[in-house]
Structure 1
Amino acid sequence: MTPPTARSIRSPNRLRALSLALVSEHASPLATLGGVDAGGQNVHVACLAGALADRGHRVTVYTRRDSHDLPASSQLRPGVTVHHVPAGPVEALPKDALLPHMREFSYYLMQHWSEAGPPDLVHSHFWMSGLASLAAARELGLPMLHTYHALGTVKRRHQGAADTSPPSRIGCEREVGFGCDRVVATCRDEVTELVRLGIPEDKADVVPCGVDTERFRPDGPVAERTAGRRHRLLQLGRLVPRKGAALSIAALAHLPEAELLIAGGPAPDLLDADPEVRRLRAVARRAGVLDRVRFVGAVRCDAVPALLRSADVVLCPADYEPFGIVPLEAMACGRPVVATAVGGQQDTVADRETGRLVPPGDVLALAAATAELLADDRVRTAYGAAGRRRVLSRYCWSQVAAATERSYRSVLAGRLVAAGARM
C-alpha cells in the first residue's frame, strides 16, 4: 500500500502498553451514521480505538460535547473511553462552524491532561482536531500524529464556491502537517496531495482505513428484494452531492432491468423534506427512472451488511473520495463494486478483479461498467470472492491497528533518540 518512494516502517519490538489520546472534535464514535457530518471518520475512530485496545493499549477518544444528555465520559467498550469536551454551545453544530471553538477545546485538553496525567501519545483526526491537539501537545511536550481524513485543497478544487470550509482551513492544515511528528495518511493519493502542500513525503506513513470482517461478511441475512426487479444496485453513504448519487441515477436510464436503492441521509419519515432528496428525485424524474429509484434514508448500523448482501452491484461514484469505506464494506460482503477512480478508491478497488474503476463524472462509463457486471453472474461472483480475499489480506482492523502502532512506536523511538542526542 505504501508508495515506492515513501519511507518504510520497521517493526519495532512490542513494548509496554500505551496510554493513547485519539482526538476527533466533530466525529464522535457514538454518533448515528448517515448524517451530513457523520460517516466514515466516525467509524474509523471507533474501530481504530477498539482495535488498539485489543492490542492492550488504553484509549481515550476526545470529542466535542454536543448534547446535555451526554455524560462527561462513558465507556465505548473495554479499554476505550469516550470523553466529551465542553467547547462551544452544548448543541449539534455543523463541523464547518466549529473552528471558533477549537481554542477552548485545546485549552481543555491542556488542563485535563495536566491534572489527570498526560497520554503517552496524541493522535488527532481531521484538521480542526489537529489544531486543538497541536497547541496542547506543544505545551505539554507530547508526541503527536495526525490523520486528515479529508484535505481542504481537494475539497476546494472540486467544490469551488460551494465549499463551506473556513477560508483559513488550508493554511491550518499545512501548520498541522509541519507541526506534528508524523502524518498517518489513508491512501497514496493523499501523500501526493500532502507533497503539493509542501509537507515532506517521508513525513507520511500510509495506513489505510479498515473494515470489520466479522460484521461485514458474505454469509448472513439478506435484505428483502423488490418483486419484479431483476437486478438491484445500491448506493450507500452520506447524502451529499459529492457522493455522486445523481450520476448513479443518470446511469440507471441505461440499465432498464435494474432498480437503484439510495441509502443514507435523514430518517425515512424525514426524506420528503430533505433538499438533497428532492433534488435527486427531480433528477430521476427528468431521466425517466423515478419509478426505479428508492430512497431508504438512514440505515441502522446492524442492518447495513444485510442491505449490502442484497445488492448485485454496489456503486461508489463520488466526485472525490478521501478514502471511502463503503467499497471495503461491500467487498467484505462479497459484492462487486463499481467506483470512480478517485482518492482511496484507487487503492481499495482492484479494476477487473474486485470490480471496476471508472472516470469521475462519466455517466456512460459508469453505466457500461455496471451493465457488464449485471450481464454475467459468474463474473460478479468471482469479483465478489476476490474482494473478500483482498479485504482479509489488507484491511482487517487488526492489521490497521498494528500498522498504526508501528507509526506510534517509530515516533516514540525517534523522540528518545532526539532526547539522547541533546543530553
Structure 2
Amino acid sequence: MRVDVLSKEYPPEIYGGAGVHVAELVRALRQRPDLETRVHAFGAPRDEALTASYPDHAELASANGALRTLGVDLSIADGCAGTDLVHSHTWYANFAGHLSSLLYGVPHVVSAHSLEPLRPWKAEQLGGGYAVSSWVEKTSYEAAAAVIAVSAAMRDDVLASYPSIDPARVHVVHNGIDTDDWRPTAAPDRVRELGVDPDRPSVVFVGRITRQKGLPLFLRAVAQLPPEVQIVLCAGAPDTPEIQAEVVALVDDLRRHRDGIVWIAEMLPRRDVIALLTSATAFACPSIYEPLGIVNLEAMACETAVVATATGGIPEVVVDGETGGLVPIEQATDGTGTPLDPDRYVADFAAALNEVVADPERAAAMGKAGRQRAIDAFSWGAIAERTVELYRSVV
C-alpha cells in the first residue's frame, strides 16, 4: 500500500510538535515492508528518497499567508497522483489531503494536533487568513475518512468543535517519543557554553512564543522562585510583535531583580536541548492549550521532572506526583483557554515549581519515573502499528 504523508513541517524545517510527530511517524512507517511511505512537505528541496518538497509560489509572494498555503496545497495534491491513501497533518496540509481525496478517490486521514476554533489568537497573526484556515480545517475534518486525535482530550475537542463528525471516525493514537534519541546525556561543558551553570538548579522552558504556550504566565511565576534557581528559556518564533514585546518586557523586569535568566532565541540542535534538559531540575510546560505535548515526553525521556498545566492531553502524559506536577487551571470557554483567575494560576504554577526544585532527590526520582513511562507507553513502533491498522480499516 502506498501512503502519502502531507505536512508543512518536515526535517530540516521543524519548529513545533506536529513536525516532530511527522518526522518520527514517517521514520517508523518506513521500517515496514508492507508500506511505501512518501512525504510531501512545504519548503526547500530535501535530499531524501520518496520525499518531495514544495516552495511557496512566487506569484503569491505578497499574498496573505493563508493564500500562500493554499497555493502550495494545490501543488502537493497534484504530486499525490497514484497514492492509495493520504494522511495530512495540520490545516496547512489538510487542503492538499482533501483535494487529493476528491481527485483520486482515495481515503483522507487527518491527524488532529491542534484545532483552529481553539486558537482564536491566530487571527492576530493571519488576519482574514484565520477565517480561511478555519474553513479549510472544518471542510477537511468533516469529509475525512478518519480523524486521528493525539489524545483523548483532543478527541473530545474535535467532536465539540465539529459535532457533525461521526464519533466512530475519530480515533485516539497518542504522540510518541524515540527514547533511544531522547535520553539523559550529561554535557556540563556544553551547558556552560550555552550560558547555564550546571551546578545550580534550573528550570527549562522549550517552546514557541505563542499564546497557547503560556510563556508570559510562566515568566510571572518565575518571580516567585528562589533566586538561586536559573531560568532557561529556549523560546523563539514569536507569533506577533505584540507577544514578543510582552515577553521581552517580562524578561527585562526579571533580570533587574535576579540573575540566571538565560534566553536562547535560536532553534537549538537536539543534542543541546538534551544537554539542557539533562542538567535541569525541572521542565516547565505552562501551556493553556496543548493537545498532548511532545515537549513533555522529550523532557521525561531525559529523566527531567515536568511541571505542567492540567489541560488538554497533558494529564495523559504527566502523572501528578509521580513524573512531576500538574497545575490546576480554570479556563475561559471562548476558545482562548485564558485562565479565569490568572493570578491564582501563576501562584499555583510557582508553588508547584518550588515544590520540585526544593527537593532535588525527589525531582530526580520523578525524572526516572518519567523516562520509564515514556519507554513503556509512548514508543513510535507501537504508534505506527496502530496508525497502519487505521489505514487498513479505511482503504
AA of the residue aligned to 2:213: K
Alpha-carbon separation, structure 2, partners of 1:373 and 1:329: 18
AA of the residue aligned to 2:181: R
What is the Cα deviation at residue 86 of structure 1?
A: 5.2
AA of the residue aligned to 2:205: Q
Q: 1:291 and 1:275, CA in 2 relative to 1: closer, same or farther beyond 3 A?
A: farther
- Which residue of the other structure, out of 24, 49, 60, is the alignment partner of 1:47? 24
Q: Which moved more, 1:53-62 or 1:280-289?
A: 280-289
Alpha-carbon separation, structure 2, partners of 1:262 and 1:91: 35
Alpha-carbon separation, structure 1, partners of 2:80 and 2:299: 40
Aligned to 2:230: 259
Unaligned runs of 5+ in 1: 1-17, 413-423
What is the Cα deviation at residue 49 of structure 1?
A: 0.6
AA of the residue aligned to 1:173: E
Q: 1:379 and 1:92, CA in 2 relative to 1: closer, same or farther beyond 3 A?
A: farther
Normalising by the residue count of structure 2, what TM-score does the alignment of the two structures yield?
Answer: 0.85
Name the % identity.
30
What is the Cα deviation at residue 88 of structure 1?
A: 2.2
What is the Cα deviation at residue 390 of structure 1?
A: 0.9
Aligned to 1:418: none
Aligned partners of 2:98 and 2:108 also within 8 Å: yes
Alpha-carbon separation, structure 2, partners of 1:318 and 1:392: 24
1:77-132 CA-to-partner distances (Å, cap 9, x unmatched) read xxx532013552399999x7134552x44543454344xxx122110111231122
Structure 2 residue 170 is matched with structure 1 residue 204: yes
Q: How does 1:116-131 map to 2 (within 5 A)?
A: 118-131=82-95
Alpha-carbon separation, structure 2, partners of 1:236 and 1:402: 29
Q: Which moved more, 1:133-142 or 1:240-249?
A: 240-249
What is the Cα deviation at residue 151 of structure 1?
A: 0.3
Aligned to 2:124: 162
What is the Cα deviation at residue 161 of structure 1?
A: 5.8
Alpha-carbon separation, structure 1, partners of 2:28 and 2:61: 28
Q: Which moved more, 1:290-299 or 1:40-49?
A: 290-299
Aligned to 2:213: 243
Q: How does 1:103-182 map to 2 (within 5 A)?
A: 104-114=71-81, 118-156=82-120, 159=121, 162=124, 164=126, 165-182=129-146
Aligned to 2:58: 89
- Which residue of the other structure, out of 283, 287, 292, is the alignment partner of 1:314? 283
Query: Structure 1 runs of 4+ off > 6 angstroms?
Result: 90-94
SS at match of 1:363: helix
Structure 2 residue 307 is matched with structure 1 residue 330: no
- Which residue of the other structure, out of 410, 414, 417, is the alignment partner of 2:393? 410
Normalising by the residue count of structure 1, what TM-score does the alignment of the two structures yield?
Answer: 0.79
What is the Cα deviation at residue 220 of structure 1?
A: 4.3
Alpha-carbon separation, structure 2, partners of 1:120 and 1:149: 23
Alpha-carbon separation, structure 2, partners of 1:101 and 1:320: 24
1:153-183 CA-to-partner distances (Å, cap 9, x unmatched) read 1112xx3863635214334322212211100
Equivalenced residues, count = 367
Aligned to 1:293: 261
Aligned to 2:332: none
Aligned partners of 1:281 and 1:290 also within 8 Å: no
1:32-73 CA-to-partner distances (Å, cap 9, x unmatched) read x4xxxx2111111111111100123322111234xxxx33x6
Aligned to 2:38: 60
Aligned to 1:280: 247
Unaligned runs of 5+ in 2: 330-341
Aligned to 1:421: none
Alpha-carbon separation, structure 2, partners of 1:58 and 1:46: 15
